[in-house]
Amino acid sequence: MFEKIEMMRMARAMGQHVADRQVAVTRNIVNADTPGYRASDLQPFAESYELAASGGGGLRTTDPRHMAAPQWSPAGARLMQTTDPISPNGNSVSLEEEMVRAADVKRQHDLSLGIYRSALDLMQASLGRR
């Protein structure tokens, strides 16, 4: 029932995107001293959600027995290499940049929780339970 409400779907998608981005930031920090490691980040949430909502980038079903892809899936966000400068050992991780990205991830997580809470409050108010 709740998965058909666009606001709930967007809050869920944003939460999943934030979790995946946190994994990418953590992987970058862990590999800060690995020679030749290139830092990566996810594309912005707005781009990946818009692409998935428009139907682009989704899975193709070439056989009637294939399962349909969900409206938005974590596969919609693409992992991209960052444009941070490369050190002499070939590593492109900047711990300062990763800390900024981690703070941005926290902000996005708080935003997705706020959207989810607002949607729940709106549904409770419409049912007369507030």
Range of the domain at 106: 2-126
Give the rounded percent of residues in the chain with a pLDDT score beyond 90: 36
**Once rounded to an integer, what is the mean pLDDT over residues 103-127?**
91
What kind and span of H or E run contains 80?
Answer: strand 79-81
**pLDDT at residue 73, as a whole number:** 52
Of residues 48 and 6, more confidently modeled: 6
**pLDDT at residue 59, as a whole number:** 54
Domain count, the chain: 1
Q: Is the confidence at residue 126, as pLDDT, over 70?
A: yes
Cα distance between residue 79 and residue 65, in whole Å? 30
Name the pTM for this structure.
0.72
**Once rounded to an integer, what is the mean pLDDT over residues 86-111?**
92
**pLDDT at residue 2, as a whole number:** 58
pLDDT (tens digit per residue) in 30-46: 999 999 999 998 888 88
Mean pLDDT over the full length of the chain = 81
Structure-token match 């989810």, residue found: 116
For 61, counting Cβ atoms within 10 Å of its Cβ (0-12 exposed, 13-18 middle, 19+ buried), the class is exposed
Q: Is the confidence at residue 52, as pLDDT, over 70?
A: no
